[in-house]
Amino acid sequence: MKITRLETVVRRSKPATNPIRDALQALPGSGSVTVTLHADDEIAGIGDVSFGRIAGAPDALAAIIEHELKPLVIGSDLGMIRQTHLALLRETEYHGSSGLTMMAIAAIDTALWDCLGKVRKAPCWQLWGGARDRIPAYAMVGWLNYDDSEVRRICDKAVQQGFRAVKIKVGYPTLAEDIRRVKTVRDAVGPDIRLMVDANQSLTTAEAIRRGRTFQDLACYWWEEPIPADDIDGYAELTHALDIPIATGENLYTRTDFARFLKHDALDIVQPDLRRAGGPTALLEIGFLADAFRRPYASHGGGPVQLNIMACLPNAIYLETGLLGPNSPLKVIDGCAIVPTGPGFSWDQ
Ligand SMILES: [Mg+2]
């Protein structure tokens, strides 16, 4: 089947007046871009990219898709998605297959796999070969701008909803403030819930080692992005200095970045982002590459695409998500997210 049409829809959102914050930035939201493409003018596949910040990003991304990538996708063979992915990487190499360009490739790649799944009437994980039908999930419960009582309330809800693991932001100006927040959450969730900490690239290597020793004494489960994402030497130093696993990858691009980090023993847990990695094609490659290095895979962000990927990965350990809303299609049972069964990347049959 050939791809005959591709439409791009931009949704701009009004920035939140009280945005969530991590140690690096505020995230007021700025909208999303949805790619819808059609095979033989019939079956539609959908791919989404949403933005936590930068007001002009959705329009800039849509322009890359419309003016640069779309001509390569129209007329391509739906059965040759990897060939199309390579063609998009090759075309954009001149100005860099990274940043917004990689997010545009990810949106198209997601829409292509979704379309193929719908044509075959099967979830994508079944096209790729499933390894399991449920994945442990954790709830992100503590942004830096939340006060302790709000964090306690969210922790209570996460436990009630069946989560067996939670994550909080750290990276306050002092270690004492980080310790206070970790102890607050431990007190709220009890001794049996796993607790991960994430500093969003905000520390120096020396400070990350100092705080990492404290977090491992406090029995935190992983230490996420303590230092700038591209500091491969710093990450190698951290993995050797600390017993607590070092998780990173949400700000790395393509399997090549991950291969460098794996080769240099610069991470313990890979955490690729669907948008920055370059779509499901790349996430699968990164997942199996990590498995060959005997490193676990945890998602950055949740959703049906990451769940379809993780259903295929023997080394998948955690899906990231937030609290479940009243209409959330995600089901969490005994701490595990149930893998969707609908065609493509849709939730249910
Ligand atoms: Mg993170």
CA 290 to ligand 1 centroid distance, Å: 18
Contact (Cβ atoms closer than 8 angstroms) between residue 348 and residue 329: yes
Neighbours of ion ligand 1 (CB under 5 A): 198
CA 336 to ligand 1 centroid distance, Å: 20
CA 60 to ligand 1 centroid distance, Å: 24
Contact (Cβ atoms closer than 8 angstroms) between residue 85 and residue 313: no
Superfamily of domain 125-338 in the CATH hierarchy:
Enolase-like C-terminal domain (3.20.20.120)
Q: Which pair of tokens denotes residue 341?
A: 């069964």
Considering only CA atoms, which of 169, 187, 179 is closest in space to residue 210? 179
Q: Please give the pLDDT value at position 167.
A: 98
CA 343 to ligand 1 centroid distance, Å: 29
CA 349 to ligand 1 centroid distance, Å: 32
Residues involved in catalysis? 169, 300
pLDDT per residue as tens, the chain (349 positions):
999 999 999 999 888 999 999 999 999 998 999 999 999 988 999 999 999 988 899 999 999 999 999 999 999 999 999 999 999 999 999 998 899 999 999 999 999 999 999 999 999 999 999 999 999 999 999 999 999 999 999 999 999 999 999 999 999 999 999 999 999 999 999 999 999 999 999 999 999 999 999 999 999 999 999 999 999 999 999 999 999 999 999 999 999 999 999 999 999 999 999 999 999 999 999 999 999 999 999 999 999 999 999 999 999 999 999 999 999 999 999 999 999 999 999 998 6
Residue type at 164? R
Q: Please give the pLDDT value at position 108.
A: 98
CATH T-level topology, domain 3-120: Enolase-like; domain 1 (3.30.390)
Is pTM beyond 0.85? Reply is: yes
Considering only CA atoms, which of 285, 308, 347 is closest in space to residue 125? 308
CA 224 to ligand 1 centroid distance, Å: 6
CA 227 to ligand 1 centroid distance, Å: 11
Contact (Cβ atoms closer than 8 angstroms) between residue 65 and residue 108: yes
CA 168 to ligand 1 centroid distance, Å: 9
Kindly list the domain boundaries of the chain, sorted by start residue: 3-120, 125-338
CA 200 to ligand 1 centroid distance, Å: 6
CA 117 to ligand 1 centroid distance, Å: 30
* Other Cβ atoms closer than 10 A to 150: 13
Angstrom distances, CA of residue 150 to CA of 142, 143, 155, 220: 8, 10, 9, 21
Q: Please give the pLDDT value at position 349.
A: 62
Q: Give me Rg for the CA atoms of the chain.
A: 20
Identical fold at 3-120 and 125-338? no
